[in-house]
Amino acid sequence: MSKDLLSLLNLRDDPRFVSVPPGTRPGVTTVNGKSVIVSENPATGEALGAVTLDSAQDLEREIAASVETFKTWREVPAPQRGLLVRALGDEFRKFKEPLGELVSLEMGKIRAEGLGEVQETIDIADYAVGLSRQLPGQVFPSERPGHRMFEQWLPLGPIGIITAFNFPNAVWGWNAMLGAVCGDVCIWKPSLLTPLITLATHRIAERVAARMNHPGVFRLLIGTDDQVGERLVNDRRVPLISATGSCRMGRRVGSVVAQRLGRALLELGGNNALIVHEDADLNLAIPAIVFGAVGTAGQRCTTTRRLIVHEKVLPAVLDKLVAGYKQVSGRIGDPLKDGTLIGPLINEQAVAGFLHAIEAAKREGGEVLAGGGRVEGAKGHFVQPTIIRAPGNNELAIAREETFAPILYVFSYKTIDQAIAMQNGVDQGLSSAVFTESLRVSERFLSTAGAGSDCGIANVNVGTSGAEIGGAFGGEKDTGGGRESGSDSWKAYMRRQTCTVNYAGRFELAQGIRFE
């Protein structure tokens, strides 16, 4: 690689960064007496560097300091808090290219997607700046003469932000930009699979906050679950835990936070389906399917994992998909290289999960139409984008599980109600889509009575992947029910207060109650 991204982002100067010798295995280890997490380049299997791990004592210190920072940060007027977020967005613009390329280097998504991820953080910063001039509460008519009733939204406190490896910059941005303008202190616990982009992102946020005379608004804890994760979600001083990750992780976080009567904002798995109706424009549908299924090597929570195709157009769809997969399979490789469309999976564990799912599908009668294995001769964790046709009975148990890899399971249907039932017939409910030229079919899919898609995201002639920040992002059922980013998602980071003011000068009760 021609650029030293770690130097461009000043990571080598950070006291938490540790250089490691070639051949160091990824994961938690000890270097010079320090407990560190070693980061790996998934395209080559080579160690990129290491970051020192925080301990339980570090967690206690950071939470205690966050409580004190919150006492002053909440007093800063929201438009002034917006100025900090605006400055932070501007700083991310300056470092968009090296940050985006570091995402590609450490996580494995192609360069365009890495840059796009940082752009999401820039976009949500812009959105949050506008929001800082609003944070509106409603005014209600009081039944008592001479009384005024209204609601207001107040800062919540230090909030915990737990993020996954697949969006190591943007998901923090979704939470931290909104949390900051809402008056909260943001404590970030990232995935241990992407510590370098985490550290680079945090250094920028920390530097801008200090320059704006608000140090400590953004805090970082890179640690194991036993030292940091469990203690963070258990701590009553952290009223909100926003957690992105697997359904298994979400169940643990949700139950622990619920036991202490805290708040949990959960963004979990998404076993997403796309329906192709008999009248669909295939020139529109096929590119959306291919990108949705193989983008980020199938490691997005919005990845298209199940394809439900009307039986009349199934042969044509399969022919076009197989041809399309042959094209993209020739462009697997270094995610930072121009022309690459598919990068590696994050690690060997992900590759093992990919191979396990394919073998399970075969045992159930699934037919592999494209892909089906590793990329031979590749150094890193590269796999072939795979299409698996379900057997004639349309039953494929493995398709009910979310495998974080580029596997697309294909099913057929006769009626749109059958297709919607198949789409909804999994535990997760994040993103969904239908391709059709029929008004009746699209309206059935978007049924306002709730008889259509049961997902948090439902698209017509748009794929399952590629959400914009203006709309609320999140899903139902095992996806957790949380909402981040746009719409009124900011309310999760604040507490609501209903207020009544009596200016009548006399005592009066509601509901006509007299107490004299």
The three state secondary structure string of 41-110 is ECCCCEEEEEEECCCHHHHHHHHHHHHHHHHHHCCCCHHHHHHHHHHHHHHHHHCHHHHHHHHHHHHCCC
Distance CA 84, CA 215 (A): 11
Tokens of 319: 């022919």
- Is the distance from CB of 224 to CB of 192 less than 8 angstroms? yes
Give the pTM.
Answer: 0.97
**Neighbouring residues of 448: CB distance < 8 A, sequence distance ≥ 6:** none
Report pLDDT for 51: 98
Report pLDDT for 32: 87
For the chain, residues with pLDDT lower than 70 are: 1-2
Residue whose pair of structure tokens reads 């006492």 in the numeric block? 71
- Is the distance from CB of 103 to CB of 114 less than 8 angstroms? yes
Give the 3-state DSSP-derived string for 254-298, with helices as H, strands as E and coil as C: HHHHHHCCCEEEEECCCCEEEEECCCCCHHHHHHHHHHHHHHHHH
DSSP 245: S
Report pLDDT for 393: 87
**Among 286, 369, 291, which residue's Cα sits nearest to residue 113?**
291
Tokens of 390: 């379900």
**Neighbouring residues of 27: CB distance < 8 A, sequence distance ≥ 6:** 37, 38
Degrees (nearest 5) of the Cα angle 352, 358, 359?
90
- Is the distance from CB of 269 to CB of 402 less than 8 angstroms? yes
Average pLDDT over the chain reads 97
**Neighbouring residues of 75: CB distance < 8 A, sequence distance ≥ 6:** none
Which residues are known catalytic residues?
Answer: 267, 301
